[in-house]
Copies of this chain bind each other. A is one copy, B any other.
Amino acid sequence: MHPGKAALAVLTVFGTMALDTTRTPFRTEVRILGGAATFASLSACVFTDTSMIAVIGDDMPEENISALKSRGIDTRGIVKVKGGKTFHYDSSFDYNLSNRTTLKTELNVIADFEPVIPDAYARSKYVYLANNDPRQNIKILQLFDAPRLVVCDTIEYWIQTARPEVEKMMGRTDGVVINDSEARLLCGEVNIARCAKKILSLGPQFVVIKKGEHGAVLFDREGQVFPAAAFFLDEIADPTGAGDSFAGGLLGHVARKDRLDFRTMKEAVIYGNVMGSFAVEDFGVKRLLSITKDDVEERYEKYRNLVQF
């Protein structure tokens, strides 16, 4: 790697890195590579130079770090805690792969992480705060010089246990990417247009509400709206990481174009859909480890033809 420009991150992703045990009625995989930051980074790295910040224990197999490196991801920000255990998430899906039941959540090294970033990351232009403790997210943001765009996600757990910090975090970001059910929980509203207004009132310039198999809707402060149907798949292997891969594709496209206009944001939502559709085709991160830029562009065009009328 060239010591100058190439060493500076374009997009930095901070969030969980995990060992997942995922069970479907058809297959079970034990302690495979997972986590919000992992999926988001593996998705974003198809588009732009991507750096990761995460904390792991020394039970994380070295081959998983190698897999990230093999995709060109800068892993200098991954902190290994000696004697620590990696975040472990165990869940099972029902027959329709639409409802997930959490069997075990072991935060382990995640719980006490004090965010640090390599110097080379401080000048990142784009920052994605994948699902994580909002207090850690707020802290880490202070370590960056002046990112052009900061986007965050959150989940039910943080809304339930740290709502004021979730709202404070959103107030310090430019964009929020969030599931419909979590947007409803956060805002106390069923109508997602109203949820979007409430989230925008916290401070961000835009919000993308992810609706799973029903696609996603982008809202901005000027009142612009972009509803996008999901890419249509007959069969999925494992829905884990779809939302994180969506966010990675969205941030990745915005970063490579280095533009924030609404047209770019619309394209970014579609690239998000495309990356989510790849993620669910195989277990864990498997499919994301093999896709190429061409695969992505081909599916983007396929999507365009699909929804065109």
Contacts and interface: CB of A to CB of B under 8 A. Distances in A.
A309 B191 contact: no
Interface string A83-108: 00000000000001010000000000
SS of A interface (majority): mixed
Interface in A210-231: 211, 213-215, 217, 225-230
Interface in A261-296: 263, 266-267, 269-270
B228 A229 contact: yes
Contacts of A306: 225-227
Interface in A294-309: 304, 306-307, 309
Nearest to A192: B213
A260 interface: no
B232 A230 contact: no
Contacts of A226: 306-307, 309
A56 to B, nearest CB: 35
A227 B233 CA distance: 11
Q: Give the residue among A229, A270, A304 with the most B Cβ atoms within 10 A.
A: A229
